[in-house]
Structure 1
Amino acid sequence: MYSAKDIDNCASDPCPFDGQVCVDFTDAYACICPPGTGSCATDFVFHNVVEQDKCYHFSKFPWTHQDAVANCAEIGGQQPDMKEPREHQWIVEYLQTEIGTSSWTALKTPPPSLVQSYASAPFAQPQWIVPDVYGPFDLCVMLDSTNNYTGKYVACTERYGFICTTAAAPCSPNVCQNGGNCTFCFSGFGAYSSFGSFFQCACPSGYTGTFCDADIDECLSSPCQHGGTCHDQIDSYSCQCGLGYAGDSCEIDQDLCAIYPCPDPLVCVETGDFISCHLPHPMARLAPARCGPSSCPTGWTCQEAGRDAYSCIP
């Protein structure tokens, strides 16, 4: 039986911009810009973002309203009509903080209705008005960057950026690794869609990167205290604590004398990271405090300090 061989449509490196990622499909490919990719022309051309299961494309290209609607449709989306207060507020906040330029919305006035007062039956359309819905007397609405992005009526032929939205869809195939979930936005494949199409991986805890392919190093924040050694794990870390410290982050200062008591009748005194064993004052002349085989914990060094004391040094 003949079996068609899958061709890698990304082998020729077809994507035009640095930072774009080519994703291979069975009979096609997509050039997509991961969010936050600084070299993918996103910083000065457009922004893509997923919010509340919807995809948003914020273009900075100066289009007329007619061209903005056409380009939005070309990448499989539509301009938001700004009816929902939450969506309206979020869009305005994003424009203010990330975009900085005026943008078209979906709102547009209908063609003007003019009548002749002297006529018994007015014409449906005066002959001197262009029948195109984007005729010279049409007004469209844009969000004005000079006035807190308040909606403003302007001529449809003026040029501003635009907003485009569509429902978020799962990628097929899911290109995200380590259990990440892929969302693909704007499925059009026209000339403009090489700018608009993009995907986003929602990574599980402990992973990051465009494809959730990078393990987050939880040790970067230096969570281990008191000189403890940090060992990175998936979505967690472990600390190898120094002598006298315990706890998940080596935050507990332990009593060395409680852990390593001196032999009777010697009294233990903790000094830094070592202990000293000495005779109580009334017994100071009865018997010397000398280093012996069991004077200190195994592996520690015993160092005598005169007749009445010695130190155990790890």
Structure 2
Amino acid sequence: MLGGGVESSLLDRQRYFTGGYHDNSVESGPITLPANTQFEGGFFKGCLGEVRIGNSLLPYFSADQLNLDNLTSHNYFSLSDQLLTMDIGCKLCFDYECQNDGWCANANDSYACECPAGYAEDYCNVNIDECQQNECMNGATCVDMIANYTCSCPNGWTGWLCEQDINECDSDPCQNNGSCRNLEGMFECVCPDEFVGRQCETYKVVTCENFPCRNGSTCVDVKNEETKDNFTCTCAAGFQGPYCGVPYCAENVEPCLNEGVCNVSGVSPFCQCLPGYEGRRCETNINDCAADINGKYPCDHGMCIDGIDTFSCDCSNTGYEGVSCERDIDECETQIAQCGQGVCMNLNGSYTCRCLPGLCGEECLMTDPCFLENPCQNGGTCQDDCIHGEGLYKCICTSGFAGLNCTEEPVKEAASSNAFNVLVIVGPILGLMLLAGVVATFLGVRAARKKRATRGTYSPSQQEYCNPRVEMDNVMKPPPEERLI
């Protein structure tokens, strides 16, 4: 066993382990104890007094003491890996255990590390709080450091311990001819009668004569009910607030969107937008698919897909290719077209198949039903309809015939029947119109005759003209109708 009160246990014929968690191997031929090797539990730490195997005491000798040139020629016990200078005794401290640049001052006598200034405890793992005994003055805040501390001074104080009062009056902080008085940790301004404020910066009574409106804005001597001022500011473009001092695009007002930047370097602030955006607050994505000033769209064919400061053209199923779908695809050359036994003819964005006689259809794969035999009768012309299905056709019939194959004659009675139906509808309407005209004529003549009987010019008859006698009864009677003109 290894001395020092730690027993060992035999696990196999050639390897020994110390008790606890230390895995120190002992091997034969020669037997070595790698006491300084770092393994799972760490270095061997403790006191080495004696080594026994099978209750037999093995004395410890160094190579010099044994006076051996060949260490493998005799049986002996020693510590390997350059620890031959280690004496029998205790190993209580290792440098790697010490933190923050600590070290083992006496590894054989003490397990505690020697710590640099500012650290404490056995392994130098605790930073000493120097602020526990600080001397900061005038309400200063102590800030702990390594083996030191500093004092964070409040306004008006300076020095290592914040013990010196700052004379704020040296910087002449009082405005508008105010008088400065230095106090401990602060200052005081004695203002003229027309000014107030900590630094005499504000007029007691402010009007437009004091130019309160900022950034070139207009001042009107009208009371502002919101601010209770004796004036009102009409802000210049891009500014807002009661005194027009806030850019409209400031972060706490209406910040620019989409990573735009509020630019206040010019006369009027504005949102400087990233490429692809526009608007007062950069809120609008520019439509890159819109036509230019010449009315030209970015995609010659296909569908335009708008992006951020970019666009792309989807040329699917258009017969064109390229960034702007500007190049026609020759379907005949690329063998996209399938024309069977026909001849492929390329078109812009498409193609067509010119079929050989007897074939029809888009790909010339169907038999032309009009080629071998004309199914149309009575001089009708056959026209294939292969686009809707194989074997389909239509007949263009001559005058007087109809039907699928021009075999049906038109029904003549149908025309006379249609004429009769029209006469039945139109006849009564014409009769009513004629009757209404006759009645209107009769009523008009009657009304005219009554009018002539009561109105017109009087002409005396021959008898009345030659006879000087006047008969009153004739005067009372209306004259004959034929004498009225």
TM-score tier by shorter-chain length is 0.3 to 0.5
Higher RCO (CA-CA < 8 Å; seq separation 6+):
1
Higher Cα radius of gyration: 2
TM-score using structure 2 length: 0.23
The alignment's TM-score, normalised by the length of structure 1, stands at 0.34
Q: Which has the higher strand share?
A: 1
